A and B are shown apart, each in its own frame.
Chain A
Amino acid sequence: MTVFLNGLMKFRRGPWEMLASVLIAIGVIMLMQPLVMWAYTYSFIVTLTGTVMFIVVSHFPD
């Protein structure tokens, strides 16, 4: 966990990509879940944030 947080603080590619991947996954789950409408409504913004973040952080150093 500390390694992960250190990686985030130092703008390392691995942890940031992991964070972006988690955001994308949460966004997709929110889009397709059958339980609450508000999660569906906000799903796109979460997925978009994750995707844009993924594109940006893939240029960070390893």
Chain B
Amino acid sequence: MSDTPFNRAAKATPPSVAAKIRGLSDRAIAWIFVLPTIFLLLAVNIFPLIWTINLSFTNFRANRPNREVEYIGLRNYERILTDSDIWLTMQATAHFLFWTIFFQVLIGFALAWLINRKFKGNDLWTTLIVLPMMLSPAVVGNFWTFLYQPQIGLFNYGISFLTGIDPSSFQMIGDVTLAPWSIVIVDTWMWTPFVMLICLAGLRSIPDYIYEAAEIDRASKWRQFWTITLPMELPFLMLAVLFSGIENFKMYDLVVQLTGGGPGSITELTSINLKREAFEKWRTGYASAYAIILFVTVFGLASIYVKALNKVKER
């Protein structure tokens, strides 16, 4: 018998244990391997979820653990769903979601379409375009605050160069009208490359012979785009939309670094608001109900995402 690690482990196993293992069925051995993972999954995912659902029906406060906890039924949910401030937060999130998805898909698809054409330096351009998504959101948020500075920021000077407006006459982060757009611009800058990569994968999966057949039929480039490229790219675009939607729904770090939810609470997205309720106001029961509402929404969107993914696989 050769001296491999497996053989050494087999030799080192006590005869009584080895006999027991030999007596187990394949199914039982499979369960032994899977059990640690199931246990971890239950401990890390399922138990906290059930515990959060339980807390959402109480008035529990994590900063007062010794206080008696009362079950208050659906009152937390009722409060959240009739609170006009949280409704405004949802609207801020909707604004952020809609415009980031719109710009990311539009610019991402355009970039993918350009990159997909064979030209010199193609790989270099792809690498350069993909760079922003490799950075940490905290770092991106931090350096964009400098770019947005009205006195020294390059962004303001860029806008001034293009439009002739005085660079110190507007503040991207401090202005109530411009602040929501400032976070949209930064998120679009950071995550468009990701959408581009999804779109590029879609474009590269379209076989060349379809275009060759269209050329033989004298279809114009415009016609080829509308009847071949776009329909075959559509599932990938749909995936990009859903993926961006789910990711941006949870957006926290970038916006906190950039605006901190301000001015006022104009850029306070749901995730920031939830963190404040849970760890600044310490309304744990209330925040749990809030988290469950967001969880159900994201879970619902994720279900559609998985369905779309399966459709793409079937193609």
Contact = CB atoms under 8 A, between A and B. Distances in A.
B68 to A, nearest CB: 28
A61 interface: no
A44 B293 contact: yes
Interface string B88-109: 0011011001000000000000
Interface in A1-27: 17, 20-21, 24-25, 27
B84 A48 contact: no
B81 interface: yes
B47 interface: no
Interface stretch (B160-168, B178-186, B274-282, B294-302): B294-302
B299 A51 contact: yes
Contact of B296 (A25, A33, A41, A44): A44
B90 A47 contact: no
Contacts of A54: 300, 303
B87 A17 contact: no
B204 interface: no
A32 B94 contact: yes
Nearest to B299: A51
A51 B299 CA distance: 7
Given A40-B81, A43-B81, A44-B293, A51 B90 contact: no
Central interface residue in B77, B94, B293, B304, by most chain A CB within 10 Å? B304
B300 A47 contact: yes
A10 B297 CA distance: 28
B90 A40 contact: yes
A17 B300 CA distance: 12
A32 B249 CA distance: 11
B147 to A, nearest CB: 29
A9 B304 CA distance: 22
Contacts of A31: 90, 297
B169 interface: no
Contact of B303 (A34, A40, A41, A51): A51
A41 B304 contact: no
A28 B300 contact: yes
Contact of B300 (A24, A40, A41, A58): A24
A17 B305 CA distance: 12
B82 interface: yes
Given A31-B297, A44-B296, A47-B300, A37 B77 contact: no
Contact of A24 (B81, B94, B293, B303): B303
A40 B304 contact: no
Residue from the set B293, B300, B304 with the largest chain A CB neighbour count within 10 Å: B300
A33 B94 CA distance: 8
Contacts of B82: 37, 41
A48 B297 CA distance: 8
B307 interface: yes
Given A32-B93, A47-B297, 4 more contacts: A24-B303, A33-B94, A34-B94, A44-B77
20 contacts: A17-B307, A20-B303, A21-B304, A27-B297, A31-B297, A32-B90, A32-B91, A32-B93, A32-B97, A33-B91, A34-B94, A37-B84, A40-B87, A42-B81, A44-B81, A44-B293, A47-B296, A47-B300, A48-B296, A54-B300
Interface of B: 77, 81-82, 84, 87, 90-91, 93-94, 97, 293, 296-297, 299-301, 303-304, 307
